[in-house]
């Protein structure tokens, strides 16, 4: 049964229409020059798929997974395990966070504005404060106090972040990275590996 508001409008249809418009608008804004970036690829694909599903989706669980609907023949069992999984572990959060940070640094402006510099520094400070692993957060806060974010140029930020990653990896007994711009750009910006090509 579809609910109606006081004016008799079909709420489910209106909600689907609003979702469609929002998704279409977001997808349109992603068509700019930046979308040759690898980070845009999966997002564009996901938005396009979401746009196709918006009218067919009977419900959503926290995190965005489709819960299915008995009347449609779709079941929650069809939802990928990754959507029903437990909260992420420290290692999963760490790997994802480093990927995000290195990718952000790789695409940071070569000549950032004063606001860019301030926002990036604030972002790093906020991350250090609100990181969900409490002892990791405390350790990163200490590291950031000893070596504040260098945000003057893209290269400064990339190298600072690589150094911070190496500080953490050193404490954990993990492999250290070669902190050169060639290596960082190869990994986080534009890989020459054939497996990374579209």
pLDDT > 90 fraction of the chain, expressed in percent and rounded? 51
User: pLDDT, tens digit, for every residue of 100-155?
Assistant: 999 999 999 999 999 999 999 999 999 999 999 999 999 999 999 999 999 999 99
**Mean pLDDT, to the nearest integer, of 166-174?**
95
Please say whether the beta carbons of 105 and 154 come within 8 A: yes
For the chain, domains (ranges, CATH) are: 11-84 (no CATH), 90-196 (1.20.120.310)
Confidence band (pLDDT; 50, 70, 90) for 27?
A: low
**pLDDT tops 60 at residue 26:** no
Distances (CA, A) of 181 to 40, 41, 185: 22, 23, 6
pLDDT value of position 76: 46
**pLDDT tops 60 at residue 61:** no
Q: What is the 3-state secondary structure (H, E, C) of 42-110?
A: HHHHHHHHHHHHCCCCCCECCCCCECCEHHHCECHHHCCHHHHCCCCCHHHHHHHHHHHHHHHHHCCCC
pLDDT value of position 162: 98
Please say whether the beta carbons of 20 and 54 come within 8 A: yes
Tokens found for residue 169? 């990896």
């Amino acid at each position: 049964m579809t609910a109606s508001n006081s004016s008799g409008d079909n709420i489910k249809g209106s909600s689907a229409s609003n979702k469609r418009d929002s998704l279409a608008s977001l997808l349109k804004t992603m068509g700019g020059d930046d979308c040759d970036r690898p980070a845009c690829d999966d997002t564009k694909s996901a938005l396009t798929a979401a746009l196709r599903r918006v009218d067919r989706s009977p419900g959503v669980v926290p995190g965005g997974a489709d819960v299915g609907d008995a009347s449609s023949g779709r079941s929650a069992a069809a939802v990928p395990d990754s959507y029903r999984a437990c909260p992420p572990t420290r290692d999963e959060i760490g790997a994802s966070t480093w990927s995000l940070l290195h990718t952000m640094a790789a695409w940071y402006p070569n000549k950032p504005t004063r606001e860019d510099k301030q926002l990036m520094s604030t972002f790093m400070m906020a991350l250090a404060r609100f990181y969900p692993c409490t002892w990791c957060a405390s350790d990163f806060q200490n590291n950031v106090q000893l070596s504040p974010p260098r945000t003057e140029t893209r290269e400064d930020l990339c190298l600072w972040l690589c150094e911070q990653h190496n500080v953490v990896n050193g404490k954990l007994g993990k492999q250290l990275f070669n902190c050169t711009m060639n290596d960082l750009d190869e990994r986080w910006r534009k890989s020459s590996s054939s497996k990374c090509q579209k």
